[in-house]
Amino acid sequence: MKTMSYREAVRDAIAESMRASDEVFIMGEDIAEMGGSMGVTQGLLDEFGATRVRNTPISEMAIVGAGIGAAMQGMRPIVEIMYEDFITLSLEQIVNQAAKHRFMSGGQLKVPMVIRTQGGAGWSPGAQHAQQLEAWLVHVPGLKVVFPSTPADVRGLLWSSIYDDNPVVFFEHRLLYPIKDEVPEKLEPIPLGKARVIREGTDVTVIATGPLVHRALKAAEEAEADGISVEVVDPRTLQPLDEDGLVESVKKTNRCVVAHEAVTRMGFGAEVVAVLQEKAFDYLDAPIQRVGAKFAPLAFAPAMEQFVVPGPQDVLDAIRKTVAKA
């Protein structure tokens, strides 16, 4: 094992995939000399050159459209959208083109591309640079959606996404980039659609995504002082979703909290709750609690941002509430 940051793990997966196949290349705004807005792709230009590490015009529609065309011609493009909020500008290409071609061609066409994007709150980026819109993409048949929370997971899942024959929207969170953890010495692909139990517990399951995984772990430590044993599960892949893995955990603990940074209303957590209600209702000893952002655009002011976005205390309150109702 070796230690690697989340940012380094993303870069390593991209570099290893490009070394393994000439079909893989990356393009996006300022990703070459600058290394992207978050410095994730620094150094790739020096190794692979401007043909495979390509700066693009400031047009998300054009970036994704070019990636779709390249993928349909046999390449495996990695397309970077600088901020998750800007993915809205390319939704026509993602939803009506990338997600549909394989189905509409009867499998004759494939679109093996990865759309990497980052976002999230916690550093006062304001309402147009911090949204969490993963639920929008999970709703679209034909897309796969991935949201890793640890260096090892982002490394293994990105590799698998690059070599998947379907379009994958790959979410990264701004605050996760500096996080360091142990990763395998040799890159190990992680199959899409398999959840991971981050922390074992017996009293309540917390199903969390992205940065809320780490906030849930903090809440679990505090809950332990109250005598509450918390299991933390990270779905990792939002589509396909490991429904059986989530149900198995809830059947063990009989209680559940679902937590994400996106707004609670119509968020990804609502789908998870629906799945658990359908498949594990008889095992639940209390109503499932949801934790998410308040239904408001994210303010620029740090104090207001913290008010809107859920933290460890919100997860802890939900844990205590579901245990109290048991």
* Reported pTM: 0.96
Mean of the per-residue pLDDT values of the chain: 96
If DSSP states are collapsed to H, E and C, what string results for 146-170? ECCCCHHHHHHHHHHHHCCCCCEEE
Residue 58: burial class (beta carbons within 10 Å; 0-12, 13-18, 19+): exposed
Q: 49-94: per-residue pLDDT in tens?
A: 999 999 999 999 999 999 999 999 999 999 999 999 999 999 999 9
Q: Which residues participate in catalysis according to the annotation?
A: 60, 129
All structural domains of the chain, each given as residue ranges with its CATH number in brackets, are: 2-183 (3.40.50.970), 196-324 (3.40.50.920)
**Best CA proximity match to 319, nearest among 283, 289, 298:** 289
Segment 194-217 shows an average pLDDT of: 98
Question: What tokens appear for 241 in the block?
Answer: 């979703």
Residue 210 makes CB contacts below 8 A (sequence gap 6+) with: 120, 132, 147, 149, 171, 173, 176, 260, 261
For the segment 242-265, the average pLDDT, to the nearest whole number, is 98
Helix (H, G, I), strand (E, B) or coil at 86: helix
Task: Classify burial at 38, counting beta carbons within 10 Å of its beta carbon; exposed 0-12, middle 13-18, buried 19 or more.
Answer: middle
pLDDT digits (tens, 9 = 90+) for 142-174: 999 999 999 999 999 999 999 999 999 999 999
Residue 326 has pLDDT above 70, yes or no: no
Average pLDDT for 249-262: 98
Residue 325 has pLDDT above 80, yes or no: no
Residues belonging to the chain:
326
Q: At what angle do helices 243-253 and 268-280 cross, to 10 degrees?
A: 60
Backbone phi, psi, residue 258, to 5°: -115, 125
pLDDT over 70 at 113, yes or no: yes
Mean pLDDT, range 6-16, rounded to an integer: 98
Count of C-beta atoms within a 10 Å radius of residue 183: 24
Confidence of residue 12 (pLDDT cuts 50, 70, 90): very high
